[in-house]
Amino acid sequence: MITIKIFIFNAYSENTYVLYDETKECVIIDPGMYEGFEQNELVSFIKAQNLNPVLLLNTHCHIDHVFGNKFIFDTYGLKPKFHKGELVVLEAVPGYAPSMGFYKYETSPLPDEFLEQTDVITFGNSTLDLIFAPGHSPAHLCFYSKADDILIGGDVLFYGSIGRTDLPGGNHQQLLQNISDKLFVLPDETKVYPGHGPATTIGFEKQNNPFF
């Protein structure tokens, strides 16, 4: 069974997730640590729980979701894994970070291998299926555990909202279509853990999200 630890990091109040199970192997998703105290908070939790980080995953590569990629690599030796369509997004970050006031951004390492649209990720006794859902960014991935009824959704679907589509590579209609075709077909009880804000469920959003 997967346990989820949520951290809220950086100026964008981004949700960073650590997923682990009874084996103590863990996956770090969208590390948003920018300040030193944020880095310490994540490391302290991993130490306290005696976890073994085995994977670093990015749902997508906007700056607020990759601040901590270099730190995770330096600390645990893990390079990020994401869809190759996000590479251009990641490579743009060093160019615009200073203009947004982020002078301490450390350039993320590049993946040794990319995730495909339909890959399956395993850690410990757990499995995550990939759901390819671009629209907020050009090659956004969500991570779904059928066994645990959870979706790490990044910036696709929020509580009562959806991801913004006005950034480079965004496509509003594509995002709506992917949510309808790929997320809303999941069981209503599936708990959605978004990139920002509180968790929600598929059933609640199907009934209440004003975009649908």
Return the bridge partners of 143, or none. 130, 152
Please tell me the pTM assigned to this model.
0.97
For all residues of the chain together, what is the average pLDDT?
97
Distances in whole angstroms, Cα of residue 83 to Cα of each of 136, 152, 171? 14, 15, 17
- Who's near 3: CB < 8 A, 6+ residues apart? 19, 20, 21
Sequence-separated contacts (24+) of 35-44 with Cβ below 8 Å: 35/10, 38/7, 38/9, 38/10, 38/68, 39/68, 39/71, 39/75, 41/7, 42/7, 42/16, 42/18, 42/68, 43/75
Is the Cβ–Cβ distance between 141 and 59 less than 8 Å? yes
> For the chain, which domains are there?
3-208 (3.60.15.10)
Q: Are strands 25-29 and 14-20 parallel, antiparallel or unpaired?
A: antiparallel
Average pLDDT score over residue span 83-101: 97
> 84, 50 in Cβ contact below 8 A?
no
- The pair of structure tokens assigned to 166 is 């006005």
pLDDT for residue 9: 98
Provide the pLDDT confidence category of residue 120 given band limits of 50, 70 and 90.
Answer: very high
pLDDT at 206: 97
Q: In this predicted structure, what is the pLDDT of residue 89?
A: 97
| Torsion sign, CA atoms 200, 128, 17, 135 | negative
Q: How far apart are CA 109 and CA 151, in angstroms?
A: 26
Provide mean pLDDT across the span 97-117. 96
Q: What's the rounded Cα separation, in Å, for the pair 31 and 169?
A: 21
Give CA–CA dist 151/149, Å, rounded: 7
pLDDT band at 202 (very low <50, low <70, confident <90, very high): very high
Kindly report, residue by residue over 44-70, the tens digit of the pLDDT: 999 999 999 999 999 999 999 999 999
What are the backbone angles phi and psi of residue 187, rounded to the nearest 5°? -55, 145
pLDDT per residue as tens digits for the range 160-199:
999 999 998 999 999 999 999 999 999 999 999 999 999 9
Q: Compute the distance between CA of residue 177 and CA of residue 180 in angstroms, rounded to an integer.
A: 5
